[in-house]
Amino acid sequence: MAEVALDLDEQTPDLEAAMQEAVAAVESVESAAEAEERNAEGSGNSTPIAVGAGGGELDRLRREVAEYRDRSVRTLADFDNFRKRSEREREELRKYALLEPIREFLGVADNLDLALQADGSAEDLKRGVEMIRRQLQDLLRRFGVAEVAAVGQAFDPSIHEAVAREESPEASAPTVVAELRRGYRLHDRLLRPAMVKVAVPVEGGAPPPAGGEEGPAL
């Protein structure tokens, strides 16, 4: 389907060029015919212009005008039909673009249904869910989806969404210390940022030791 749309896009300039060429030819021939008529009128010849060599040339030009006009009308009609067909095919491509990915994910939905219907212990159910999760991750990787690195990484607002923060004497720069929701990329485009907790350097220097000296008794 994508290849068909690409071919149609490649043909569009050719049709436009043909249409413009036909219209230009019509205008050129019409201009020549008008010039011929003006020349005949300016010569003061009272003989009807259709008679003689000049009239024959003018008739030929008029026939060419009619021919080019008819050709340009057909070209415009062909181009309009092509445009409508191209729009229909593009709409169909957009409508069914996810057909194959969704078909692949139906297997995951089937396995979830089986897991819900199966009898067994909580441990068996957990193992089944883990297997389905691995199946889902494999499918995501096949379609170019990758997880956004989070825990232990320097905080990057372009791929991380900070929803919590804490001061830490061990942090020299904002650093992700917990991932609350995983983020994903599709190839080089961000699908959604990772929702994270960020550790930041302590403001005003290091805090006092936990077992510091007690103040004087009141």
Q: Measured between alpha carbons, how far is 31 from 37 in angstroms, rounded to an integer?
A: 10
Q: Do 177 and 198 contact (CB within 8 A), yes or no?
A: yes
Q: Measured between alpha carbons, how far is 40 from 51 in angstroms, rounded to an integer?
A: 11
Secondary structure (3-state) at 211: coil
Tell me what pLDDT residue 187 has.
Answer: 93
Fold of the domain built from segment(s) 145-206: Nucleotide Exchange Factor Grpe; Chain A, domain 2 (2.30.22)
Mean pLDDT (whole number) for 46-73: 69
Is the pLDDT at 192 greater than 90, yes or no? yes
DSSP 15: H
Q: Do 68 and 29 contact (CB within 8 A), yes or no?
A: yes
For a pLDDT cut of 90, what percent of the chain falls above it? 33
Mean pLDDT (whole number) for 27-43: 66
Per-residue pLDDT of 132-185, as tens digits, reads 999 999 999 999 999 999 999 999 999 999 999 999 998 899 999 999 999 999
The H-assigned helical ranges of 143-175 are none
β-bridge mates for residue 166, sequence order: 199
Axis-axis angle for helices 2-42, 52-95 (nearest 10): 160
Max Cα–Cα distance, the chain, nearest Å: 133
Higher-pLDDT residue of 101 and 48 is 101
Lowest mean pLDDT among 2-6, 79-83, 207-211: 2-6
**Cβ neighbours of residue 79 closer than 8 Å, sequence gap 6 or more:** 15, 16, 19
